């Protein structure tokens, strides 16, 4: 279109910060890259959002879909999803999984506004746990980088990540892909079955992202921009670049993108409602469980091994905080935080 594009990354607040900043823009030159998190998940995760995903933005075009892959470290005795689920059920609470942050979903960057960098690791694993009836220890991280580092080192047992971040490690044998969240197998991993193929019909977990504009953008400008974006996405250079990362170029009209967002919102609304119901029920069970007290300074490894001897009703999650050298263990609704200054476990309520 003969225009220079300035990319302003806003990687905070699960994408809410970027969405809030772009929503009131009236310069007709500001757009944002929204994703499954900011458009379909956050409205049902957060009690209050600083933006309305449906009223504050106009969809321009769905750009691409990115497969979510279910991964394990090679030391985990499972080569397929069925084996992994069987092992998890036989050893409840022994396995842990990481993610890039609580409620994280979506993976994108943007031109002139960014919805935040993240991934669908948390909700993808919660979705799998919910449909399979398994219990695994949840370890949130502050970003994909630290999470992937611990997964490669074997400090994490499993995770779900977007294909672009992990394809090189799968090919090198450093990670094992046991399933894809797509409806069909992906060409880059033809021997890896989907979750649906392995006993869970209808299961789908795919990341996606697309371009949106503030609702103030005139319809004529929106149509012109949509036509240019759709044509660009379908060019060989764009499709080849996306295919290299196992992503599928989409393109399409504003109406098609709007319909897609509405469908995704309904799907995630049901999934999150069921997940919240399970979390509440687990919390009620945990309130009646006998509290477990740690006497030593915690590490991710010690917390993981300590939790092996406890029931799923006792320990819900381990959380390392490397930037502050602290660790936290969650006991349902009761939480304790290791205080470096005090040198002991402190009660944490919120």
Residue 299 is predicted with a pLDDT of 38
Count of CB atoms situated within 10 Å of the CB of 185: 15
Mean pLDDT value of segment 110-115: 35
For residues 59 and 215, give the distance between their C-alpha atoms in angstroms, rounded to a whole number.
9
**Which residues are CB-neighbours of 246 under 8 A, at least 6 positions away?**
66, 67, 163, 164, 167, 186, 187, 188, 189
200 class by beta-carbon count within 10 Å (0-12 exposed, 13-18 middle, 19+ buried): middle
Q: Which of 117-131, 163-177, 326-340 has the highest mean pLDDT?
A: 163-177
Q: What mean pLDDT value characterizes the chain?
A: 77
User: Bridge partners of 180?
Assistant: 69, 194
In contact, 264 and 40? CB cutoff 8 Å: yes
Best CA proximity match to 56, nearest among 44, 43, 41, 47 = 43
Q: What is the DSSP letter of 291?
A: P
- What ranges in 133-162 are assigned the alpha helix state H? 144-153
Domain regions of the chain by residue span: 13-274, 300-348
For residues 187 and 247, give the distance between their C-alpha atoms in angstroms, rounded to a whole number.
10
pLDDT in tens, 55-78: 999 999 999 998 899 999 999 999
**Which residues are CB-neighbours of 118 under 8 A, at least 6 positions away?**
14, 15, 37, 100, 101, 104, 105, 106, 107, 144
Q: CATH topology for 13-274?
A: D-Maltodextrin-Binding Protein; domain 2 (3.40.190)
Question: Is pLDDT larger for residue 313 or for residue 23?
Answer: 23
Residue 298 is predicted with a pLDDT of 39
In contact, 182 and 67? CB cutoff 8 Å: yes
pTM of the model: 0.70
Q: Using only C-alpha atoms, what is the Rg of the chain?
A: 21
Question: Collapsing DSSP states into helix, strand and coil, what is residue 100?
Answer: coil
For residues 254 and 344, give the distance between their C-alpha atoms in angstroms, rounded to a whole number.
55
pLDDT in tens, 215-225: 999 999 999 99
Give the burial string for 306-324 (b: 16+ CB within 10 Å, else e).
Answer: bbeebebbbbbbbbbeeee
């Amino acid at each position: 279109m003969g225009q220079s594009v300035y990319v302003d990354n806003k990687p905070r607040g699960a994408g809410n910060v970027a969405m809030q900043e772009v929503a009131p823009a009236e310069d007709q030159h500001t757009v944002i890259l929204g994703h499954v998190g900011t458009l379909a998940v956050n409205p049902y995760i957060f009690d209050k959002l600083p933006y309305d995903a449906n009223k504050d933005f106009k969809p321009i075009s769905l750009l691409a879909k990115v497969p979510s892959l279910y991964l394990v470290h090679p030391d985990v005795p499972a080569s397929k999803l069925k084996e992994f689920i069987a092992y998890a059920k036989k050893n409840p609470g022994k396995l842990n999984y990481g993610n890039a942050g609580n409620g994280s979903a979506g993976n994108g960057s943007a031109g002139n506004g960014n919805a935040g960098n993240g991934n669908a690791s948390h909700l993808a694993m919660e979705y799998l746990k919910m449909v399979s009836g398994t219990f695994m220890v949840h370890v949130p991280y502050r970003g994909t980088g630290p999470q992937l580092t611990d997964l490669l080192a074997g400090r994490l047992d499993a995770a779900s990540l977007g294909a672009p971040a992990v394809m090189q490690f799968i090919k090198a044998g450093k990670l094992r892909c046991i399933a894809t969240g797509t409806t069909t197998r992906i060409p880059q991993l033809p021997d890896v079955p989907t979750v649906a193929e392995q006993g869970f019909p209808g299961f789908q977990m795919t990341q996606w992202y697309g371009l949106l504009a503030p609702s103030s953008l005139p319809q004529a400008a929106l149509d012109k921009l949509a036509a240019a974006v759709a044509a660009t996405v379908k060019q060989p250079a764009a499709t080849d670049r996306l295919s290299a990362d196992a992503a599928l170029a989409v393109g399409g009209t504003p109406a098609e993108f709007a319909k897609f967002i509405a469908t995704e919102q309904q799907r995630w609304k049901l999934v999150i409602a069921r997940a919240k119901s399970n979390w509440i029920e687990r919390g009620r069970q945990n309130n009646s469980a006998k509290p477990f007290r740690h006497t030593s300074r915690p590490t991710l490894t010690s917390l993981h091994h300590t939790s092996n001897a406890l029931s799923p009703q006792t320990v819900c999650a381990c959380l390392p905080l490397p930037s502050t050298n602290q660790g936290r263990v969650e006991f349902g609704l009761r939480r304790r935080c290791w205080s470096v200054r005090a040198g002991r476990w402190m009660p944490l309520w919120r």
